[in-house]
Amino acid sequence: MTAALDAYWMPFTANRQFKQQPRLLARSSGMHYWTDDGRQILDGVAGLWCVNAGHARPRIVQAIAEQAAELDYAPPFQMAHPKAFELAERVAALAPGDMNKVFFTNSGSESVETALKMALAYHRVRGEGHRTRLIGRERGYHGVNFGGISVGGMVANRKMFGNMLGGVDHLRHTHDPAKNAFSVGQPAHGADLADDLERLCALHDASTIAAVIVEPVAGSTGVLVPPQGYLQRLRELCDKHGILLIFDEVITGFGRTGAPFGAQTFGVTPDLMTVAKGLTNGCVPMGAVIARQHVYDAFMQGPEHLIEFFHGYTYSAHPLACAAGLATLDTYAEEGLLTRASELQGYFAEALHSLRDAPHVIDIRNIGLVGGIELTPRPGAPTQRAFDVFLDAFHKQGVLLRTTGDTIALSPPLIIERTQIDQLVDTIRTALKRVA
Ligand SMILES: Cc1ncc(COP(=O)(O)O)c(C=O)c1O
């Protein structure tokens, strides 16, 4: 390590603490990272819920290199390149039902902003411009831009930033440990929480509401799995009231829950779906909004020479990202990775729930290859016990975990082997015994 650490202002990081004891990754391959001092680290979180096919996959590496040499950039406004269409078609083919229109962005946050704007504009082009209200959910995470933090519900991400978007309201979150602690898979209690939407319709009038956005599985807030019947109920209520349903599938997309998308795992098709992360295996920044046919059709009115949706990014459908996306989807298909979580989830669940009696554990949640282990907060020092587990795992045991609040989150690459699942769980068990 030769460079000074001062200049880089790190995102979502305790900068001063980090710079006293940096954790630097230098190389990656398959299920592992290597640190700058050569230690091998088992990746328990697919980087940041994104490297679903594992690291440095040859097909993806090659596709990016070749693309950079062949066509480095193509303007996406009034111009395009063939791989953008190809990738859109491939993504649409994976999506449920008639979700067959794909709008590219560069991140999950941008996908969320795009979907919210699409929902508002959709109602307006249909002559229902009075539908301006957006409904999110407490504890939701939809990225860090203003739309996303407005509909999101994680207080630390909101409280410093003044006014949010106007006309936003929130459903209650679905976390109910009194009834659902240690549920394996979807908890039994809480479908009725979707009826909050009825309450908000009664309060604001349904005719003012444009869209509801939820994560099928709330990830960043600590892995909250939807109660049985909850998403179905939300879909019914949206249909009843003419409200668009948006699933934020930035984490659940591309195989995390055992099917290509959470929508398929839970059997509920939204109107819009936001994705990112696993779309390119995390290799090149890229996100997308996947829309149902009727949403797209609503925009395709009026004179054909006019732009239908005044929105887009300089790097929408970037050639490098499209090349990475196509190679990623090939890799997923060749290795059956988009359904591998469904094969492994029984083993994963059993391993995870074996931590039930470990010190400090108050809840364990799982679906597909995503897990959350919630700890009692240390008195007067919330989040620190879980963070100490993270530090122990990384520095002493060569395993990368992630924590959010006092929950340890797991979302390993979908290529994980059973022995590596054991290693993750043993690491957490050892760390839990060591932390105060
Ligand atoms: C559900 C959800 N939406 C949006 C985002 C934001 O994605 P990005 O960090 O790529 O902007 C995330 C990131 O974790 C997420 O989990």
Residue 200 Cα, ligand 1 centroid: separation in angstroms? Answer: 26
Q: How confident is the model at residue 113 (pLDDT cuts 50, 70, 90)?
A: very high
Instruction: Give the residue-averaged pLDDT of 256-278.
Output: 98
Domain final residue, candidates 307, 335, 363: 335
Residue reference for tokens 């060569």: 398
Domain final residue, candidates 335, 370, 405: 335
pLDDT at 210: 98
**What confidence tens digit (pLDDT) does each residue in 320-379 have?**
999 999 999 999 999 999 999 999 999 999 999 999 999 999 999 999 999 999 999 999
323 and 342 inside one domain: no
Point out the ligand 1 atom lying closest to the alpha carbon of residue 112. 4
126 and 222 inside one domain: yes
Domain final residue, candidates 312, 335, 358: 335
48 and 130 inside one domain: no
Instruction: Give the residue-averaged pLDDT of 384-408.
Output: 98
Adjacent-strand bridge partners of 134: 168, 211
Smallest CA separation from ligand 1 atom 3, residue: 142
Ligand 1 contact via 247 beta carbon (within 6 Å): no
Per-residue pLDDT at 2 exceeds 60: no
264 and 399 inside one domain: no
| Among 223, 250, 283, residue to substitute to test ligand 1 (most atoms within 8 Å of Cβ) | 250
Point out the ligand 1 atom lying closest to the alpha carbon of residue 107. 10
275 and 370 inside one domain: no
**What confidence tens digit (pLDDT) does each residue in 304-325 have?**
999 999 999 999 999 999 999 9
Ligand 1 contact via 374 beta carbon (within 6 Å): no
Ligand 1 contact via 215 beta carbon (within 6 Å): yes
Smallest CA separation from ligand 1 atom 7, residue: 108
CATH number at residue 74: 3.40.640.10
Point out the ligand 1 atom lying closest to the alpha carbon of residue 49. 14
Does the predicted model carry a pTM greater than 0.95?
A: yes
**What confidence tens digit (pLDDT) does each residue in 12-68 have?**
999 999 999 999 999 999 999 999 999 999 999 999 999 999 999 999 999 999 999
Q: Domain range for residue 305?
A: 62-335
284 and 406 inside one domain: no
Ligand 1 contact via 152 beta carbon (within 6 Å): no
pLDDT at 265: 98
| Among 12, 114, 141, 411, residue to substitute to test ligand 1 (most atoms within 8 Å of Cβ) | 141
Give every CB contact of residue 337 below 8 A, 6+ residues apart in sequence: 52, 53, 255, 331, 414, 415
210 and 97 inside one domain: yes
